[in-house]
Amino acid sequence: MASLGALSAVSVPAAPVLAADAAPNPWFDPSYVTDNWDTIVGHLGQHVRLTVGAVLLGALIALPLALLARRTRFLAGPVLGLSSIVYTIPSLAMFAFLAPFTGSLSATTVLVGLTLYTLVILVRNFLAGLQGVPADVREAARGMGYGSARLFLRVDLPLALPAFMAGLRIATVSTVALVTVGVITGNGGLGQLIVGGLNANFYRAEIVTGAVGCVLLALVADVLLAGLERLLTPWTRAAR
């Protein structure tokens, strides 16, 4: 015990107080953030990487699926249904199912799970966007000799872009929240702080840092995507 005398002597209170209140435990504590800046930034970086990775991968998978569902009408039901069913798998169970294949501790487990979850939002929004492109416009473009690649890039994409971006924004915000569940593999981004704080006798400053960090990250990501949408669709502003 002598070894720890120096550590504990500093803050042992003179009068007995409840153990949980032995040290002040404020909800907001700037010194927690400054003292643990490197840890917080590390978790934040992982949170951003997982979110960006999952949404990008999700978009890459969702786009062909949406195109396929539009082209072959009878596939639309199964594609949408399947992505919805995947979404209903609880995230805790999802990571547990994936772990044996993707590695128990690797961030890949979380990335794959999150990607699957983005599909339900992205496929639906992408398909809605594509179906919103007027058939006569596409007919006219074909008549002008547009091939299918050019038709997609010059006609479908610009007209469906607002629906695409809406899907990406919802998927991004929901993924920011879902990353925290990755805690069960040790790759939960800011979720590590939330669970770590809960397990350290309710360290409120740590819990709040994780939670507020998630909220801010979601807001920033949404604002950035909204800005990107404005940049990509200048004609929507000119029309107003």
Partner 1 sequence: MHSRARILVPLALTGLLLTACGESGSSGTGGAEASGGSASGDACAPVAGEQLVVLEDDQRLQNADNVVPAVNMATAMANPALLPALDAVSAALTTEELIELNAAVDLERQSAEDVAAAWVEENVDAATLEQGSGPVVVGGSNFTESTILANVYADVLGAAGFDASVREVGNRELYLPALISGSEIQVFPEYLSTVTDELNELTNGPTDDGPATGDVQETRTALQPLAEQAGLVFGEPSEAADQNAFAVTQALADELGVATLSELADACGDGSLVLGGPTECPERPQCQPGLEETYGLQFADFRELDAGGPLTKAALQQGEVSIGLVFSSDGALAQQG
Binding site for partner 1 (CB under 8 A): 1, 3-4, 6-8, 10-12, 14-20, 22-23, 25, 35-36, 95-96, 99-100, 103-106, 183-188, 192, 195-196, 199-203
Residue (118 or 187) nearer to partner 1, CB:
187
Q: Which is nearer to partner 1, 67 or 184 (CB)?
A: 184
- Shortest spacing between CB 11 and partner 1, in angstroms: 5
Quote the CA–CA distance of 58 and 174 in Å, as a whole number: 13
Taking the chain, what is the end-to-end CA distance rounded to the nearest angstrom? 74
Q: State both tokens at 216.
A: 């801010």
Count helices and strands in the chain by DSSP H and E runs: 12, 0
Least spacing, CB of residue 78 vs partner 1, in Å: 32
Q: Least distance (Å) from partner 1 to the CB of residue 220? A: 25
CB of 236 to partner 1, least distance (A): 44
- Which of 51/187 has CB closer to partner 1? 187
- Helix (H) or strand (E) run with residue 20 in it: none
- Least distance in angstroms from the C-beta of 20 to partner 1: 6
Of the two residues 28 and 202, which places its CB atom closer to partner 1 in the complex?
202
> Which residues neighbour 4 within 8 Å (Cβ) at sequence distance 6 or greater?
none
Question: Nearer to partner 1 by C-beta: 10 or 239?
Answer: 10
On whether the CB atoms of residues 79 and 68 are closer than 8 A, the answer is: yes
In terms of Cβ atoms closer than 10 Å to its own Cβ (0-12, 13-18, 19+), residue 72 is exposed
Q: C-alpha angle 47/63/224, rounded to 5°? A: 40
The single-letter code of the amino acid at 52 is V
Helical axes 157-179 vs 37-71, angle rounded to 10°: 140
Cβ nearer to partner 1, comparing 61 with 184: 184
Q: How far is the CB of 103 from partner 1 (least distance, A)?
A: 7
- Residue 107 belongs to what H/E stretch? helix 107-131
